[in-house]
Structure 1
């Protein structure tokens, strides 16, 4: 994402403030200063074949999931926790822009490191009512960053005609009960390998449910990409 001459000029006259330390950023089009960007917490998954499910702390919290691979930028901790909440529930779009930039950069790094690319990308759906309340589907916006980085189609594979109750504070079984019958697969012909995108994975119930729908239609590999994973203790 190269900054245009106009964006560079605007940056020189009125540079952004870093979304974490509030100091001036060094580069146009960025939301973090170089120091904060370099000190972001991150999960190095290159040593486990780019699959967080092979990490003991992840496997403990996500037993017997139906998706095959999991990739995440970080554990669900600060500053990601603050930015995700600000974007999702307070419509602070600067935080969303930052998270999308980080997702895009990580997708490029993953490709450079030889990660297995899917045939297409999809995302967790939200109901029309939820979309009207929030104004956007954060999972769809994140999925579009992967599609742009990898030059792979991003498809709307699911629909949610009924409002899914908020899942915050519910355990895995309660979340699965909430989802039954409320999300439907709307594509008949599906490729071999699909990446599903969501912002945070907690119990894995939603992505597990979507994966089961895809596997029932013959999809061989379901990978999940997310910003952050809630750590099991």
Structure 2
């Protein structure tokens, strides 16, 4: 993730503009200026053992779930709401690069602080049709950042042969009904601890469904990483 000499030279000649305030950034490859980066909202998980499931506001909304730990960069609010939407639905790849940078930075700190790491990282799948429409799976790109930061394998554990309808605005039961029979666990050996990655957790239905598939096949611990958690459970 360090800038090369060529990137530093390009930055000096034509620096990026901050994706939030539009001022010039100070660091090569950066998408935010130092000031906006310092002002980013975040979740303080240091007092709950880096597990957002121990936050009352999260625990009240995510009940009877199958995954064991949850780490998130922020609540689902600005500017994360804007960047995630721009990346996911408008194919604004600069926003995607920024979000990948941010989750990588959090993953590095997580490792440096000595928290337990998984045996592998996986991600929520998308159907071939959705992949063709969007051109990328944002959950996979985020998962690859954790894999790089932790030096752990990023593997595809799930497949979605059928198109899953858009889940926006649906309640938990409706989301689960959409997933049944449309997302499958691939046949392969599974480790004891798997980290699943998605961009946003809303009702937790998708990640809960994937976690149940893993637990049914003997996975002992499922941890979840996400960019943001919505309060609208």
The TM-score with structure 2 as length reference comes to 0.99
CA distance in 2, matches of 1:136, 1:192: 28
Aligned position for 2:164: 164
RMSD, aligned CA: 0.8
Contact 1:107 1:146 in 2 (8 A): yes
Q: CA shift at 1:146, angstroms? A: 0.2
Q: CA shift at 1:187, angstroms? A: 2.9
Aligned position for 1:18: 18
Superposed structure 1 runs of 4+ greater than 4 Å apart = none
CA distance in 1, matches of 2:61, 2:36: 29
CA distance in 1, matches of 2:152, 2:105: 16
**Offset from partner CA, 1:120-139 (integer Å, 9 cap, x none):** 00000000000000000000
CA distance in 2, matches of 1:2, 1:214: 35
Structure 1, unmatched stretches of 5+, are: none
Aligned position for 2:145: 145
CA distance in 1, matches of 2:12, 2:41: 29
Contact 1:121 1:154 in 2 (8 A): yes
CA distance in 2, matches of 1:116, 1:223: 10
After TM superposition, the structure 1 = structure 2 runs for residues 175-214 of structure 1, keeping only pairs within 5 Å, are: 175-214=175-214
CA distance in 1, matches of 2:193, 2:187: 14
**Offset from partner CA, 1:25-63 (integer Å, 9 cap, x none):** 001110000000001001111210110000000011111
CA distance in 1, matches of 2:107, 2:179: 29
The TM-score with structure 1 as length reference comes to 0.99
**Offset from partner CA, 1:195-217 (integer Å, 9 cap, x none):** 00000000000000000000000
Structure 2, unmatched stretches of 5+, are: none
Contact 1:197 1:225 in 2 (8 A): yes
Q: CA shift at 1:194, angstroms? A: 0.2
